[in-house]
């Protein structure tokens, strides 16, 4: 159970502690932040509201801990990560319990998130050992005008203190996808978990604590992003920011100093359906892609762009599957569970009302109880409706009927987002042309957009992000290249 057994140390009365200097601590602010259970809409947990002084102290210890961690052999760093991964998986049940209560993720999916996170940490340790164990050797005579008298050795070195800020929808997985690459590369880490999801994240951090990482190397400060976020992201002690979330990331990018940024932001993933598509396959993927975790996924299908000639048939097939989705509490593993907050529900409702007023066809009746919104397919959506462009982050999916593939590509590219997209057709040549024409970080052919498997490169363009994630890319992003040049007094040529 959450907060008990090996996790009892992280709880102080009814408030979860924050983690600094290798210890679980109470904030000197004396204040806490309430986490509302999206299902009951009552306070479920409380976390510390950390102060700026506490952030300063965490940055100091992160800086000095990193210096000795960088001197820890790579194989030994990997050993620590493998140990943390095993502990994480062993304690999947209490962590998943937090996910169910904090973010209303269905129970089974919550367990999957923790197990997937353990696998990610192990994979990262293995990949780090391989790619950080290699450097480059260059010789000077390949550049015009040079003799072979300079030998250049390159290696990847740590960047320093990495600030990790994940979003509410994958508070464990999107935290470890930043923590593990940072650590294997020899960096220290300061984690600011999302408020909804903070307690799951604190349990996850305790697994790293139990694995015996050096004191101060990993810290986790809690508090509302709106209150301590700017102080963290603009802190001079931060050497790299890895952020996943919404538009907040755009504001952070504008304010951050001269540090590398990894930004994974929102999306409006389009699903383009051609006349020759396997419509049963499309319908299955639309359900999985659009309604899993009630549509609260960055890579959820967020608009269907279907050729008019097959639109009626597709809408009928999707409607039939929507009717089979179960709606209710996450504890019962329902397909559709309450969305994360009341403000989120209100936002979704605003999009639905706008679509209604502008004449969209409702394939189901709109229904909401508290934060629970029944799955809704909106047909005949037009570009003047907000839902055509905005990210609902809820179980509402618009269908736009198109008369040409070009119209679909144009809609996709007119979005300010460019995370993923997908195209359904039996013609691989057409699929490749469409994939090339879509201005998104990834295009899936004949499947819904998805972030995993976690070692695949994952990136958004335009307002969807900066840089690329995926295990190898994250490790590379969290390192600098260092070169040493050996200058010979006379050129030296190998004779073979």
CB 273, CB 238: distance < 8 Å: no
Q: Counting runs of H as helices and runs of E as strands, what totals does the chain give?
A: 14, 24
Task: Give the total residue count for the chain.
Answer: 496
168 in contact with ligand NAP (CB under 6 A) = yes
> Cβ closer to ligand NAP: 187 or 233?
233
Q: How far is the CB of 298 from ligand NAP (least distance, A)?
A: 3
> Cβ closer to ligand NAP: 186 or 395?
395
> Cβ closer to ligand NAP: 239 or 425?
239
Order of all β-strands in the sheet with 188-191: 23-25, 18-20, 218-220, 188-191, 161-165, 240-244, 261-264, 465-466
Alpha helices in 191-307 (DSSP H): 198-210, 225-233, 248-255, 279-291
Enumerate residues 278-307 that contact ligand NAP by CB under 6 A: 298
230 in contact with ligand NAP (CB under 6 A) = yes
267 in contact with ligand NAP (CB under 6 A) = yes
**x/- string (CB under 6 A) for ligand NAP, residues 370-409?**
---------------------x-x----------------
Among 158, 194, 295, 408, binds ligand NAP (CB under 6 A): 194
Nearest CA to 81 out of 147, 125, 27 is that of: 125
What DSSP letter does each residue of 471-490 carry, written as one string?
HHHHHHHTEEEEEEEEEPSS
> Cβ closer to ligand NAP: 188 or 474?
474
CB 422, CB 289: distance < 8 Å: yes
| CB burial readout 27-47, b (16+ within 10 A) else e | beeeebbebbbbbeeeebbbb
> Cβ closer to ligand NAP: 24 or 168?
168
Q: How far is the CB of 301 from ligand NAP (least distance, A)?
A: 13
Distances (CA, A) of 482 to 30, 136, 161: 45, 10, 17
Q: How far is the CB of 90 from ligand NAP (least distance, A)?
A: 26
> Cβ closer to ligand NAP: 165 or 238?
165
Cα separation, 347 vs 163, in Å, equals 29
269 in contact with ligand NAP (CB under 6 A) = no
Q: End-to-end alpha-carbon separation of the chain, Å? A: 66
| Residues whose CB falls within 8 Å of the CB of residue 340, separated by 6 or more in sequence, listed in order | 38, 103, 104, 168, 169, 196, 296, 371
Enumerate residues 416-435 that contact ligand NAP by CB under 6 A: 419
195 in contact with ligand NAP (CB under 6 A) = yes
Q: How far is the CB of 67 from ligand NAP (least distance, A)?
A: 26
Among 94, 266, 330, 449, binds ligand NAP (CB under 6 A): 266
> Cβ closer to ligand NAP: 370 or 457?
457
Among 97, 264, 379, 390, binds ligand NAP (CB under 6 A): 264
Cα separation, 384 vs 377, in Å, equals 17
Among 214, 246, 328, 329, binds ligand NAP (CB under 6 A): 246
Strand duo 161-165 + 150-158: pairing: unpaired
Count CB neighbours of 248 within 10 A.
18
Cα separation, 376 vs 369, in Å, equals 14
Q: How far is the CB of 269 from ligand NAP (least distance, A)?
A: 9
Q: How far is the CB of 280 from ligand NAP (least distance, A)?
A: 28
Nearest CA to 301 out of 199, 424, 405, 404 is that of: 424
Q: From start to end of 287-371, where are the E strands?
A: 301-307, 361-362, 368-369
264 an active-site residue? yes
Among 411, 460, 477, 478, binds ligand NAP (CB under 6 A): 460
Q: How far is the CB of 264 from ligand NAP (least distance, A)?
A: 3
Enumerate residues 463-482 that contact ligand NAP by CB under 6 A: 465
**x/- string (CB under 6 A) for ligand NAP, residues 146-165?**
-------------------x
224 in contact with ligand NAP (CB under 6 A) = yes
Among 27, 117, 248, 337, binds ligand NAP (CB under 6 A): 248
> Cβ closer to ligand NAP: 315 or 348?
348
Q: Which of 102, 127, 264, 390 is catalytic?
A: 264
Q: Would you please indicate which residues are annotated as catalytic (active-site) residues?
A: 264
The residue ranges that bind ligand NAP (CB under 6 A) are: 165, 167-169, 192, 194-195, 224-226, 229-230, 233, 244-246, 248, 252, 264-267, 298, 391, 393, 419, 460, 465
């Amino acid at each position: 159970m959450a907060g008990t057994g090996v996790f009892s140390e992280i709880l102080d009365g009814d408030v979860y502690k924050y983690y600094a200097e290798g210890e679980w601590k109470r904030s000197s602010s004396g204040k806490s932040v309430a986490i509302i259970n999206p299902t009951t809409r009552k306070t479920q947990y409380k976390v510390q509201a950390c102060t700026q002084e506490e952030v300063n102290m965490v940055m100091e210890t992160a800086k000095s801990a990193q210096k000795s961690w960088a001197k820890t052999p790579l194989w030994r760093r990997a050993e620590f990560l493998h140990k943390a991964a095993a502990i994480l998986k062993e304690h999947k049940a209490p962590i998943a319990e937090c996910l169910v209560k904090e973010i209303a993720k269905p129970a089974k999916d919550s367990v999957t998130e923790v197990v997937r996170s353990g696998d990610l940490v192990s994979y990262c340790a293995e990949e780090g050992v391989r790619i950080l164990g290699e450097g480059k050797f260059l010789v000077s005579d390949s550049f015009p005008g040079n003799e072979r008298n300079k030998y250049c050795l390159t290696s990847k070195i740590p960047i320093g203190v990495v600030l990790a800020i994940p979003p509410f929808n994958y508070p464990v997985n999107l935290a470890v996808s930043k923590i593990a690459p940072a650590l294997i590369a020899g960096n220290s880490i300061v984690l600011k978990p999302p408020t909804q999801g903070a307690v799951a994240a604190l349990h996850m951090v305790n697994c790293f604590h139990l694995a015996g990482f050096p004191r101060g190397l990993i810290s986790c400060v809690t508090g509302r992003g709106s209150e301590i976020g700017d102080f963290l992201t603009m802190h001079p002690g931060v050497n790299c920011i890895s952020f996943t979330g919404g538009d907040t990331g755009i504001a952070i990018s504008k304010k951050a100093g001269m540090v590398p940024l990894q930004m994974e932001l929102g999306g409006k993933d389009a699903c383009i359906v051609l006349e020759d598509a396997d419509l049963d396959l499309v319908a299955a993927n639309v359900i999985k892609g659009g309604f899993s975790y009630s549509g609260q996924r960055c890579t959820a299908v967020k608009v269907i762009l279907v050729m008019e000639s097959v639109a009626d048939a597709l809408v009928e097939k999707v409607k039939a599957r929507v009717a089979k989705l179960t709606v209710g509490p996450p504890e019962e593993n329902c397909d559709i569970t309450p969305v994360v907050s009341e403000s989120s529900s209100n936002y979704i409702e605003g999009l639905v009302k706008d679509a209604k007023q502008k004449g969209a066809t409702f394939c189901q009746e709109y229904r909401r109880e508290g934060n629970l919104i029944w799955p809704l397919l909106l047909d005949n959506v037009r570009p003047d409706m907000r839902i055509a462009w905005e990210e609902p982050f809820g179980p509402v999916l618009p269908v736009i009927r198109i008369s040409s593939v070009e119209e679909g590509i144009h809609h996709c590219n007119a979005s300010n987002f460019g995370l993923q997209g997908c195209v359904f057709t039996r013609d691989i040549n057409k699929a490749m042309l469409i994939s090339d024409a879509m201005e998104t970080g990834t295009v899936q052919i004949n499947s819904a957009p998805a972030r995993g498997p976690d070692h695949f490169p994952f990136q958004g363009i335009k307002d969807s992000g900066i840089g690329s994630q995926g295990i190898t890319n994250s490790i590379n992003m969290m390192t600098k290249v260092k070169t040493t040049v050996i200058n010979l007094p006379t050129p030296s040529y190998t004779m073979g």
